[in-house]
Amino acid sequence: MLLPMSPPGTSSCTSNLSNETIKYPWSTDVLTVLLLALHPSTWLNIKDERLKAEFQTLVSTDNLPDDLKQEILHRRRQLYYLKAYKEEEEYEDPMPPSP
């Protein structure tokens, strides 16, 4: 999984197994990816047109690096399928009680 990383050295540790440095995303990085992963129509109900336009610009994937853009689109697909599964689950008949 690809996530944007905070500035070097701000959230990393050194592995005991090698000289390799392992970097972990900050919670703000994860939150950013999750916000970007929301479907663009999420922001369409904002009444203030100026604010709506600002949100749409902020969450646009047009100017992101290709790797990050692909990750965001992958997360959007996952959210779409998760939502579809949840909605399907809600419409299924409950299992009959055991005798």
10-28 pLDDT per residue, tens: 444 444 555 566 576 677 7
pTM: 0.56
Tokens of 75: 């997360």
Given a cut of 90, whether residue 50 has pLDDT beyond it is yes
Give whole-number Cα distances, 79 to 17, 24, 37, 57, 85, in Å.
36, 23, 8, 21, 10
Query: What whole-number distance in Å separates Cα of residue 54 and Cα of residue 14?
Result: 40
Given a cut of 70, whether residue 41 has pLDDT beyond it is yes
- Worst-scoring range by mean pLDDT, 40-44, 49-53, 74-78? 40-44
Tokens of 87: 């909605």
Query: What whole-number distance in Å separates Cα of residue 60 and Cα of residue 62?
Result: 6
Tokens of 5: 């990383």
